[in-house]
A and B are shown apart, each in its own frame.
Chain A
């Protein structure tokens, strides 16, 4: 019941904003957003305390919504991330409006400053939260598919917040590529239904119990399609082409949500399917996951070096970490420590990527460009954002207090000398590429703020939420290190 409420409440809040319409004062919509996010987080916290009967929704003896170890963690994470974004949005939207006024006051201002109206933007954000919640909680493969497709649809308008030609192009690619990919996943879901000769439906719990009775050939075909389908949405390498475009064109908070929350949902989709594969297919699944994981890492390393656009660089870093998740899960499908490591990696990546994209949004606000060569002297002009950016980049590359350090170390130990060596080399390349770009952005002197310092000041005022999330990520990393030392899994 609680899960159903968690899905419905954001939708109700979204409706409230839409009914308010375009005439309502902007603060009211932002308040609804915040209220929806807070209530959602409270409901998710309640699921931790309440017993099973509250967190499972059954209709006609069929389980529709349920939580397990993975989904409850991801649900809580998503909800918390959304609340932070909602708080950030409250101030960020105001800053965007002010920036628009500044730009229009300048002589020779063009029409390039059109924004999506808030009474469309905010409801889409809330509906996005609802769709993600449904995708995480669904314990029926069909329902999960419906929810994941819904996340694509409601997040597409969000990418177009700055209504430019480039944003439209990114949105079109996102819609088309992801929909085709997810269509393949639907075909894969049908194949799973065919694999089960008794036709008990697509319920996860039932399928997991009947894993050995499933037809291995159909399961094999299904897994390939699912990996291609949900892999597209997750951003695994050969299917990642929409990701850098969408993440670079979307405004900061939206890219933060796309990267930190949405990719996890699609990963959960792939994870679900590995849970009921028959024993004979485990090696097959592992090989595929490892191959795509390595390919993603290599692609990311290749494109991050000498990347000209700092948001694209972060997007490729997301591709890299999705590849690492695929590697971790490929190694640890049946290994409890590695499963936990996968979850840690996912949490750590989400927290850090949220910081990075929010700060990148601030930098974009201040400088008005995403080009690495045009952004210079961040230390002197936007000091707080520069420090946050450098710290978060160091952490996301796996520098020790980060939780990613621990999980990447576990992964390298698990993969043996050749695989581990390759992963280390690629990680080093990614780290070198990102750091050289970021240092270039931070050093030097900028001429941009010689006579107009207001954009920089606006960006400086938006540092609070990323700073808090960064602290949390560091604390989480410390906790992971401490816990592993106590469990004595180090060597």
Chain B
């Protein structure tokens, strides 16, 4: 069972309190009606499944209720970073540094 740090509660809590909410940093355009089928497919259906760092969303559903983002290494399940919703996606350089 994962131990997850909630960036809003600023505390570690067991996985039981959280719900995974899929891939992070997928932008839902405000003018969706104009999207091409290909863009909609890419936005709605296509997901990364990396062996390595996964950028993903979690919700502290049985806690503060907030959605937040996390970088989790899928091989070791180590959380490299958690950050609040709306904060910028960490750069690839930053991610590379975190892995080390």
The answer to whether A and B belong to the same complex is no
Residues in A lying within 8 Å of B, measured CB to CB: none
